[in-house]
Chains A and B, each alone.
Chain A
Amino acid sequence: MGAAKQIRVKVNDVDHDAVIDPRTSLADFLRGELGLTGTHVGCEHGVCGVCNVLVDGRSVRSCLMLAVQADGRDVRTVEGLADGEKLHPIQEAFMEEYGLQCGFCTPGFMMSICELLERNPDPSDEEIMEVIGGSICRCTGYDSILRSVRTAAAKLGGARA
């Protein structure tokens, strides 16, 4: 392996220090080193979107980013959405609108949607579809995910009534 690298990365508001092989992907680091298996891995070449996480507030494919590149950054995963037992409004909306069936793609969708609604509290359907088009869901046909985002926006107080 290449020379190991020391990193400090904040994940869901907790600082983690680790020594890693530089070829470790951020996705593998989150799952394997930190045990945060809510971030899934699918295609592992940037196409499917199940591994989307937030880095400094931006949604990225964690399979296409090295863990060493997250040194000094602020990472958020699906585990960081809920507040204890209380689900995040995005999670509630997915439940209410049947925004998932098998659930494998759901964490990636939620993190992208989290970025969208933080930056744009009242997105148009076109803006929502642009973002959810970056993840592949083979169960829902996307209609219920679109509704979930609208509902989440309303719950968060941004959407037009």
Chain B
Amino acid sequence: MKPAPFEYAAPDTIDEAIHVISQNDPDEVKILAGGQSLMPLLNMRLARPQLLLDLSRVRELAYIRELDAGVAIGAMTTKRDLEESPLIRERHPLFHAATRLIGHPQIRNRGTVGGSFAQADPAAEYPAVALALDIEIVAQGAGGTRRIAADDFFITYLTTALEPGEILTEIRVPELPAGTGWSFQELARRHGDFALVGATVTLRLEAGRCSDPRIVVFGVVDRATRFAEAEALVAGQPAEPATFERAAAQVAESIEDPLSDVHGSGEYRRDLARVLTQRALVEAAGRAN
């Protein structure tokens, strides 16, 4: 028996789940979504909750619903369901591409979108996509429902704006304007591993010049980060290699205190951020029209 003892509850509805939390000390409750990150933490006893609240039987939280200009995804929707959804593949290609890079099929069969957002791993794909696409996060608690912008949601390592007792119930993904180019780049030592570093870019082209660029890099600091100064070097400029090189160099320069560990030094990650940003800009420009 690897985890420390815990009480276990598996409610059928979101209201019931919120009620269960309100009957306990919210700081002592851990919410189990797909378990692909939490179960290892429990097995290693890095997490020792008194109560494990399993959402896997809350069917009302598993859905992919088309909106006027986007898609609403229930928190308990698995990555496998997202990866296989024609709506996601055709209308949200950046989200689709990022989903395909998360773990392995066996992990995506269990891992959920809500779990990844709430886990907020600095090297995870979804937080970066959330910043690039302005995804909104919906949270529900005893006090009601609120929507949180991606910019305000991811705070630092494994820390989000969710309050104790709140449950992430949905994410709302806006559709990219027609003609927007996009790219998602990452480098991992083995396919399916967390990325060492990744970069995602969206931009549009108007008469050969770039407009509305978004540059997000992840895996280099405590959370996925947008690089406004680099974006400013791209906006209004010709879509050509010199523009992209300057912006990528600016990204590398702006990174303070890059993560450094056994998998890669800080300086290696900084250089990787430059290389992947440049590749992402080139690919996004190639896809824009």
Contacts and interface: CB of A to CB of B under 8 A. Distances in A.
Interface of A: 1-3, 5, 21-25, 28, 44-46, 49, 52, 58-61, 63-66, 68-69, 112, 115, 130-131, 133-134
Interface string B102-126: 0111110110000000000000000
B182 to A, nearest CB: 22
13 contacts: A2-B8, A3-B8, A5-B8, A21-B5, A22-B6, A22-B8, A23-B3, A25-B2, A49-B106, A64-B35, A66-B54, A134-B104, A134-B192
Interface in B21-52: 35-36, 39-40, 42-44, 52
A61 B2 contact: no
B8 A59 contact: no
Given A63-B43, A64-B36, A69-B54, A21 B1 contact: yes
A3 B50 CA distance: 12
Contacts of B96: none
Contacts of B3: 23
B107 A46 contact: yes
Interface of B: 1-8, 10, 35-36, 39-40, 42-44, 52, 54, 56, 80, 103-107, 109-110, 191-192
B191 A59 contact: no
Contacts, number: 89
Contacts of B7: 2-3, 22
A133 B192 contact: yes
A135 B43 CA distance: 20
B39 A112 contact: no
Contact of B106 (A22, A23, A52): A52
Given A44-B2, A59-B109, A69-B10, 16 more contacts: A1-B5, A3-B7, A23-B42, A52-B106, A58-B80, A63-B39, A63-B43, A64-B40, A66-B35, A68-B8, A130-B104, A130-B105, A131-B104, A134-B103, A134-B104, A134-B192
Contacts of A45: 39-40, 43-44
A66 B36 CA distance: 11
B43 A61 contact: no
B110 A64 contact: yes
Contacts of B104: 49, 130-131, 133-134
